[in-house]
Structure 1
Amino acid sequence: MALAALARRIFGSPSDRHVKRFQGKVAQINALEAQFEKLTDDELRGKTAEFRAQLEQGADLNDLIVPAFATVREASKRVLGMRHFDVQLIGGMAMNEHSIAEMRTGEGKTLVATLPMYLNALPGKGAHLVTVNDYLVKRDAAWMGQIYNFLGLTTGIIVHGMSDAERKAAYAADITYGTNNELGFDYLRDNMKYTRAQMVQRGHEFAIVDEVDSILIDEARTPLIISGPSDDRSDLYIKIDSVMPIIEEGDFELDEKHRAATFTDQGIEKLEARLSEDGLLKSGSLYDVENVALVHHANSALRAHKLFRKDKDYIVRNDEVVIIDEFSGRMMPGRRYSEGLHQALEAKERVKIQPENQTLASITFQNYFRLYKKLAGMTGTAATEAEEFADIYKLDVVTVPTNLPVQRKDDEDAIFRTAAEKFEAIAQLIKECQERGQPVLVGTTSIEKSEMLADLLRKKNVGSMNVLNARHHEQEAFIVADAGLPGAITIATNMAGRGTDIQLGGNLEMRIQKEAEGLEGAEREAKIAEIKQNIAADKAKALAAGGLMVIGTERHESRRIDNQLRGRSGRQGDPGHSAFFLSLQDDLMRIFPVDSMDSMLGKLGLEQGESITHPWVSKAIERAQGKVEARNFDIRKNILKYDDVMNDQRKVIFEQRIELMDAEDVSETVIEMRHDVVDNIVAKAIPPRSYPEQWNVEQLEAAAKTYLNIDVPVKEWAAEEGIDAEVITERLIAAADAHAAAKEERTIANMAAAGSPNPTIMRQVEKSILLQSIDGLWREHLVTLDHLSKVVGWRGIAQRDPLNEYKQEAYELFQSLLANLRELVTTQLSHVELQPRPVAPPAPDLSQLRETHIDPLTGENDAEEGSDTIAGALGATGSDPSLKPIDPKLLEGVSRNAPCPCGSGKKFKHCHGAY
């Protein structure tokens, strides 16, 4: 470490070297400023066409950095009245070079993004700006879109509730703003469509991810999932929950560090006895094969009761259990715990139990954003996660210097023996700040602690305060906007305002929105002038009191979260102050103890209410956080290794689907599949180098009937002199091909006789069956891989590498999927009898499906809204709009002449079985 520090002092950090390298281009851009100021609006706008012409003639995009950045800076001055600072130009260059620009809060990242976005939109292949919620998408696109529109580029937005046509138009724009969830779900939905025309995205060329640490690290902990409902087992959850009160201390063990809970032998005996009494345990041991489901439910119920706490991990709202994110303290209505845990919590809290969902399509953010040929990001806190960004995304972190020197004072951590002493000291400091008119922002880790602190302050007669947590998140933007008023006290659960600045004296935009709403003309102008005057006066008072005071009530596992809170103070050269108060009873200190801290405090003989403050102590805590972050990184990295296996297979399936959709005629693929099936059934019935008397001719005849729908005299063939497997194969292929050709001729003739001639009818049917078969088998494959990933870890006990075992079995399962696909498609096409009506690939229907993803930073229902009825995806079985919607699983294996499972009263072949 000492050598690394010495090297940095001599040579500078990598970020310093990047910044120094960019200074030359900054000087060139500044040299062009006077020249560009003389251009007319039309001449400045004409630069876009000029740059595009240069690119068409072979110019490299990086050759245009200087004139393109100069163009955007001049356009911004004319349209928005905002001139990019030199450090903002440096941030833009860093992002253009496939890096993350780390810029402090208030340094204008939104404006910085216009520089690389404009440059990378010039080739016309689309550039995406990804941010965390719909509010920021709309705000930033409307605000910065003025620059792009002035320069002749088009802008689109992707938010909830848009139709496919609107989405397609937005993606077709030069620059598209969208949320990470919407872009990821659009990718999944596109790969569930049945024609290329239905797909909305047009590729993944360039993207800038705003708040990149939140999206690519915090939110990347869980995948995006499109799922459909499975069987309702709510009664079982309720019965298992009723057993939990008998489970006492000694019946279970908790591992808070890994969020795990397990029954002891004593607990298992008690559980088995009670389950037997209730008639749930069908035979002897709980761990018999037939009781696997009970074990799963009992473990979920144990975790729900002993590990998860109401108002810390979740709240009950509107008869629903809503998760609270551990990092941001926000509600996440669109997110549900998996593996039955959410249902166990619902049973515990006596609210309506929602059915578990079956995954139909999923992707992690890591693998979605690695689709982009060129990826960049921006945030205020990325340096602490630089290793993960480099390892997973191949992104460097460039720390961009501030435009004005930082004047915030950061105190060393103050550590107390108990939480009560700590909160007493915090309350005293808050009271002192309010008395001198200094605004205070307090960060807490849970709703429970934020409200406990608020109660303590009320008892001490501290004046009015705003409590911002998951219970009051609707007013977040307005509460954060007022956090800079003199004497204001804002208590927040780590969620305070990404996207809304805490400005000393108040936020002009928010104040106008709140106080000047409905006013027009001179009256509105007068009100705005009054608001500006009030803000200036309040800012002077806040500055005189020392700027924003940020108080952290405990340290998080991640230093980055602490830095986000600390970074709320001291924006754009303002003075500020930050301090963290800790106790030995905090979760971090208790679960991940700092060595010798307790004994150190004991030796110092601290009196009640005293604390220790020393750089060595702060360093010790920082090292403890570093260990936790490294462990969490290893966990995420290991999960990603498993997901990469599935991702390779996902790419193959999605690419295959696109090839099939683009192909006008898939008959060659169908013929190859049919011939492969023949080879396979012959190989099973006729072993290599075997004699005819050893052949299983009955099995071969049955397989030919099942898969090919043909009756062939295999027994007679086997009795012929000199016959071999190759001849048998040739005869079966010829018979199967003749059967298919005869069926096609018959179908075309029937269509023509019915007055609906359609010579390509079989081509349409082949494509439709191919796509539906791929989708159905892929869904089953996802479930199998999910189960495999959960159990393969046990093989480590046998000294076998679980990851290698998973790779091997996943490969074998994928090979099996392809074999099943050939058999399924061949069987369906050989047995199907077409009715004389036009056939088209079925219109996708996702009415029963839902999208799910955690949004740790906003708590908005980011995946639920508009997802209960998702237009355009899976599940339809015919093109007739009058058919009742039905679960495709119910249609599997139904005889052609049996009643249709939808309950229409028609035969299956005249209803959902019609093609």
Structure 2
Amino acid sequence: MIGLGNFASKFFGSANDRKVKSYQSRVDKINALEPEIEKLSDEELRARTAAFREQLANGATVDDLLEPAFATVREAAKRTLGQRHFDVQLIGGMVLHEGNIAEMKTGEGKTLVATLPVYLNALSERGVHVVTVNDYLASRDAEWMGQIYRFLGLTVGCIVHGIDDEERHRQYACDVTYATNNELGFDYLRDNMKYELNQMVQRGHHFAIVDEVDSILIDEARTPLIISGPVEDRSDLYTQIDTLIPSLSPEHFEVDEKQRSATLTEVGTEFIEEKLKEVGLLKEGSLYDVENVTLVHHVNQAVRAHKLFQRDKDYIVKNRQVVIIDEFTGRMMEGRRYSEGLHQALEAKEHVQIQPENVTLASITFQNYFRLYGKLAGMTGTAATEADEFMDIYGLEVIEIPTNVPVARIDDDDEVYRTAKEKYDAILELIADCKKRGQPVLVGTTSIERSEQLAEVLKANGYRQKDFTDPDAFQPLYDGDQGTAQEKVFAVLNARYHEQEAYIIAQAGVPGAITIATNMAGRGTDIQLGGNADMRIRHELEGIEDGPEREAAIKRIHDEIETLKAKAKDAGGLFVLATERHESRRIDNQLRGRSGRQGDPGHSKFFLSLQDDLMRIFGSDRMDGMLQKLGLQEGEAIVHPWINKALEKAQSKVEARNFDIRKNLLKFDNVMNDQRKVIFEQRIEMMSGEDIAETVADMRHQVVEELVSKHIPPKAYAEQWDTAGLKAKVQEVLNLDLPVDEWAKEEGIADEEITERLIKAADERFARKVADFSPTVMRQIEKAVLLQTLDHLWREHLITLDHLRQVIGFRGYAQRDPLNEYKTEAFELFESMIDRLREAVTSQLMRVELVREAPEPEPLPVMEAHHLDPATGEDEMALADAEYAYSHGGAAPALASSAAVARKPERDASDPATWGKVGRNEPCPCGSGKKYKHCHGKLA
């Protein structure tokens, strides 16, 4: 019975068909322009770019220019590459321009399609990014398609691994930039760790087209990009916590060896809280308060190190180092370390030197990076099965573009065998049959391990694997006289042979060729029946210079390939033989799509056994028993469309589960992403502002107000005021010795008046500093201090959020939603970080002193930089002299803290004339031991 939806689509077409049909009128307009544009000279064609840009400047939109721009690109492609865009490719270009995903079958020319929307959107001069899966494709496409752009007067850049920042800046400044997803993401993170706007390499996120969009935005989206670095030494903390763990008794902790977890019980938590308070590590509140999340993390790792990990079983101590033992092989894993502080906890347990942790300095997921773009589009051969995820996460609609020539491939139903041996026997039989008939075979496997298992099976049956270390390996895979592949030879394409992958794929369409491959997505080279002429010319004619000999050789190769193509077609085209189903239908479709390119004949069939992973997971035991009862003989297979449908349902369940996992991870990452955007926007604002004095003053005033409200609570009686604490805090943070306790005794004084007096005193003190330093130098100092402090606290915040993520799941046991709990606590931590930022910046700027390094005048005063933690008084970080010099084009200034020993010329204690400028808080040069402000610098 036909469903209502199927009945309607039969008469009116599916929603996708109607969408594709809607583009036809614009295709007709582009085609109508072709005769006129063909008559233009190269110079006139190139001049259209300037004319288009002028139209945009005068108020036209890129949509208004679509038809003439697409017609221009088509003509440029004909003149540079000898390729003319088909009508369906024009439709693909429109889909991409609208910010959607164009699903186009293998061999339909996606790389050429992208040139249409790239050119159109590059006219606005805001930069267009074309994203590829590897450096090879980025370089190849930038050079290959770059011919069209350069012909039309656009600049083309390419970002690959290993180029320096200066070169990256130039490449991003181009109209069109080809790059890999990893390089784009890391450049974004690195840019937001820079201290000057002119050091940033990217210039915004206007429009991006992602090639193999399903691979990048779905498969790789599970793993975030992370820039990490060593954290400050925390060995004392590990050691202190380690001394407490042996005092735990069995009722204080629970060990679950199956889950590899060790956790404190309620009694254990209370016990450890008391111990932490005794040694001064837990200042106030409960261990599980949000401000103690890092302490919880370290305690948990110490418990795991002591109660779960055993010496000489899980690790050994060798040369006073903790070395992990591989649980499967029993071998030592030199150089490998447990993450998240566990290895440091083991080092503390074994009393060996504690190495510093590596922590996240910056991170972002691909989902959140690509959502930065104003407009995002993608192209791939297989996106329809993930259409819901693309729409839900990225707002991208998947539109299937019809092929230029109808697909002639025959897709057989799956053959299901009881055992893997029976399956491999059937595969060998089919390979031998194809070999005999001269039909090329692509054998698809799901992993490197499986591809090598199959290679061993073939070798055991008299086949020989092509050795790519052999100098003759790049000779043709066929005997020229017979026009068939060399007898019993096969090639393996997996990650171990990725340098030769383009050659292996190029020869996989030769009659009788046997190629075993893993995942076929993003290979960048199509399997052409008869072989790839360009690849053969490159390898066979290497070293032969242009001339009659080379021309004759090229003609011979083209003629051979035409003959071989005809033989391969007669044999049925490329046979895709899959050895099992992948858990994602998309990967299966990618493999299938390698056959039947551009209307060529082809064949595909999947061979499965009940011992395959997917079949085993989805209840093959019951099926095995049922098949034996039905009398299925050894070597017999079940073949039925119902089996295909059942497998596709199983695959769709796995896909749905994986989508849920990715979506849940994204929900957590979105919390951090919102904070990341705020911080990165603030950094750019700070770097772009010439004068941030107002921001610094606002911070100072807020710090004063918070200090007063903390020590003089609103509506509190005067006798409840903590004026002694306020006085000490003002001295610590603002470096001001003020008679706050005396003010509090004045009749009728209120907290508002004390706040005003403190703000006035702080502003006056800071104004004197500005006058001493000169406003120009002070503005530079303010910016440097603010950016460094923000970065330092943001990195600490990232570590804390990581630790929070690891423990927040336990809230689920208390019937509380971990995501909501994470959002609430992450927000509180962020607010706390902003408070600490204001206090730390204010404290450091109120302490900074100017010290002249030499008596002779210099372009800029020389100072030392330090970053004081207002809570501990410790010097946390310094501004690099070279970086400061680079920023200001002169001798590098730095800042000097009153707590640091400043560099200064020799001083004679008995001669004040040699003292120069003395900091108010410095020891008096006379040698009295008092501060200068209380001795010779005392105000009259």
Letter in 1 for 2:121: N
Q: Give 1:378 deviation, angstroms.
A: 0.5
Deviation for aligned residue 1:593: 3.5
Q: Which amino acid aligns with 2:881?
A: S
Q: Equivalent residue for 1:762?
A: 778
Shift in Å at residue 578 of structure 1?
1.1
Return the offset for 1:592.
Answer: 3.7
Change (3 A) 1:163 1:791: same
Task: Choose the corresponding residue for 1:801, options 810, 817, 840.
Answer: 817
**C-alpha distance in 2, partners of 1:145/1:645?**
40
Specify whether residues 227 and 299 from structure 1 end up closer, same or farther in structure 2 by C-alpha distance, changes over 3 A only. farther
Paired position in structure 2 for 1:475: 500
Partner Cα distance (1:145, 1:385) in 2:
31
Q: Partner of 1:64 in structure 2? A: 65
Alignment of 1:160-559 (within 5 A): 160-230=161-231, 290=299, 292-293=301-302, 295=304, 339=340, 357-462=358-463, 463-495=488-520, 498-522=523-547, 523-559=549-585
> 1:25, CA displacement in angstroms?
0.9
Deviations 1:165-195 (A, max 9, x none): 2111211111111111111111111111111
> Residue 513 of structure 1 aligns to a residue in which SS?
helix
In angstroms, what is the RMSD of aligned CA positions? 3.7
Q: Does 1:811 align with 2:827?
A: yes
Q: State the one-letter code of the partner of 1:651.
A: K
Tell me the SS of whatever aligns to 1:61.
Answer: coil
**Which residue is 1:756 aligned to?**
none
- Structure 1 residues 379 and 881, CA, compared in 2 at 3 Å: closer, same or farther? closer
| Matched residue SS, 1:485 | coil
SS at match of 1:704: helix
Distance 1:318 1:253 in 2: 22
How far residue 455 of structure 1 moved from its aligned partner, in angstroms, is 1.2
Q: Is this contact kept in 1: 2:257–2:308, CA < 8 A?
A: no
Q: How does 1:754-793 map to 2 (within 5 A)?
A: 759-793=775-809
Task: Measure, in 1, the Cα distance between the counterparts of 2:746 and 2:77.
Answer: 87
Q: State the match for 1:905 in structure 2.
A: none
Question: 2:631 is matched with which residue: 594, 598, 605?
Answer: 605
Q: Alpha-carbon deviation of 1:66?
A: 1.1
Q: Which deviates the most, 482-491 or 401-410?
A: 482-491
Deviation, structure 1 residue 288: 12
Once the two structures are superposed, residues 216-263 of structure 1 have per-residue CA deviations (whole angstroms, 9 ceiling, x without a partner) of 1111111111111358999x9xxxxxxxxxxxxxx9887xxxxx7669
Does the aligned pair in 2 maintain the 1:768–1:841 contact within 8 Å?
A: no
Determine whether 1:822 maps to 2:822.
no
Partner of 2:719: 693
By relative contact order (CA 8 Å, sep 6+), the higher-ranking structure is 1
1:840–1:879 CA contact under 8 A, matched in 2? no
| Secondary structure of 1:715's aligned partner | helix
Alignment counterpart, residue 746 of structure 1, candidates 772, 791, 807: 772
Give the aligned residue type for 2:847.
H
Q: Is this contact kept in 2: 1:466–1:489, CA < 8 A?
A: yes
* 1:581 alignment partner, one of 589, 601, 607: 607
Give the aligned partner of residue 278 of structure 1.
none
TM-score normalised over the length of structure 2: 0.78
1:768 CA drift (Å)? 0.2
Stretch deviating more after TM superposition (587-596 or 663-672)? 587-596
Q: Is the alpha carbon distance of 1:482 and 1:262 closer, same or farther for their aligned partners in structure 2, counting shifts above 3 Å?
A: farther
Query: Which deviations, in whole Å up to 9, do the C-alpha atoms of 1:303-354 show, x marking residues without a partner?
Result: x99xxxx99x99x999888xxxxxxxxxxxxxx996589999xxxxxxxx99
Alpha carbons of 1:786 and 1:481: their partners in 2 closer, same or farther (altered >3 Å)? same
Assess if the C-alpha contact under 8 Å between 2:851 and 2:902 holds in 1: no
Unmatched tracts of structure 1, length 5 or more: 237-250, 255-259, 266-286, 322-335, 345-352, 749-758, 844-873, 884-890, 900-909
Is the contact between residue 301 and residue 341 of structure 1 (CA under 8 Å) also seen in structure 2?
no
| Aligned AA (2:900) | R
- Please list, as runs of the form range in 1=range in 2, the aligned pairs for 1:862-881 lying within 5 A after superposition: 877-880=879-882
Q: Find 1:715's aligned residue among 731, 741, 748.
A: 741
Separation (CA, whole Å) in 2 of partners of 1:875 and 1:530: 69
Does residue 82 of structure 1 match 2:95? no
Question: For the structure 1 residues 764 and 806, does the alpha-carbon distance in structure 2 shift closer, same or farther, using more than 3 Å as the test?
Answer: same
Equivalent-residue separation in structure 2 for 1:132 and 1:92 (angstroms): 20
How far apart are residue 816 of structure 1 and its match? 0.6
SS at match of 1:555: coil
Measured in 2, the distance between the counterparts of 1:50 and 1:647 equals 41
Paired residue type of 2:10:
R
The one of 612, 618, 629 aligned to 2:655: 629
- Normalising by structure 1, report the TM-score: 0.80
Q: Structure 1 residues 156 and 371 mapped into 2: Cα distance closer, same or farther (>3 Å)?
A: same
Q: In the TM superposition, what is the alpha-carbon distance from 1:783 to its structure 2 partner?
A: 1.2
Q: Which position in structure 2 is the counterpart of 1:849? A: none
What letter matches 2:702 in structure 1? D
Name whichever of 488-497 and 684-693 sits farther off. Answer: 488-497
1:120 to 1:586, Cα distance in 2 relative to 1, 3 A: same
Residue of structure 2 in register with 1:127 after alignment: 128
Q: How far does residue 527 in structure 1 lie from its aligned partner after superposition? A: 2.7
Match of 2:530, SS state, is: coil
Residue 289 (structure 2) aligns with? none
Task: Specify which of 619, 624, 642 is matched with residue 593 of structure 1.
Answer: 619
| From 683, 688, 692, the counterpart of 1:657 | 683
The 1:384–1:893 alpha-carbon spacing in structure 2 relative to 1, beyond 3 Å, is: farther
Work out the CA distance in 1 between the residues paired with 2:654 and 2:141.
Answer: 35
Question: C-alpha distance in 2, partners of 1:338/1:288?
Answer: 12
Aligned twin of 2:900: 896
String of CA shifts for 1:685-743, please: whole Å, max 9, x gaps: 11111122211111101100111001011111111111111111111111111221222
Q: Helix, strand or coil for the counterpart of 1:214?
A: helix
Matches of 2:759 and 2:648, distance apart in 1 = 70
Tell me the SS of whatever aligns to 1:362.
strand
| CA distance in structure 1 between the partners assigned to 2:593 and 2:852 by the alignment | 69
Larger displacement relative to structure 2 (63-72 or 380-389)? 63-72
Q: Distance in 1 between matches of 2:649 and 2:356?
A: 43
In 1: Cα distance, 2:233 partner to 2:124 partner:
51
SS of alignment partner, residue 227 of structure 1: strand
Query: Could you give the per-residue CA deviations for residues 83-114 of structure 1, whole angstroms, max 9, x where no partner exists?
Result: 00011011001111111110000000010001
Matched ranges for 1:80-119 at <5 A: 80-119=81-120
Counterpart Cα distance in 1 of 2:297 and 2:116 = 63
Give the length in aligned residue pairs: 790
Return the alpha-carbon distance in structure 2 between the equivalents of residues 10 and 299 of structure 1.
66
* 8 Å Cα contact 2:102/2:380 also seen in 1: yes
Match of 1:139 in 2: 140
Q: For residue 493 of structure 1, report the CA deviation from its aligned partner.
A: 2.2
Measured after TM superposition, the shift of residue 602 of structure 1 is 3.3
- Contact 1:446/1:493 (8 A) holds in 2: yes
Using the TM superposition, give the Cα deviation of residue 53 of structure 1 relative to its aligned residue in structure 2, in angstroms: 1.7
Q: Is the 8 A contact 2:844 2:897 kept in 1?
A: no
Matching residue of 2:666: 640
Determine the C-alpha separation between the residues in 1 that align with 2:608 and 2:307. Answer: 37
Q: Are the equivalent residues in 1 in contact too, given 2:301–2:342 (CA < 8 A)? A: no
Q: 1:420 to 1:529 in 2, by over 3 A?
A: same
2:758 corresponds to which letter in structure 1? L
Pair 1:635–1:840, CA change in 2 (3 A): farther
Deviations 1:554-610 (A, max 9, x none): 111110011111111111111111111111221112234379533542343211122
Cα pair 2:213 2:378 within 8 Å, conserved: yes
Deviations 1:13-50 (A, max 9, x none): 22211110011111111111111111122221121122
Q: SS at 2:576's partner residue?
A: strand
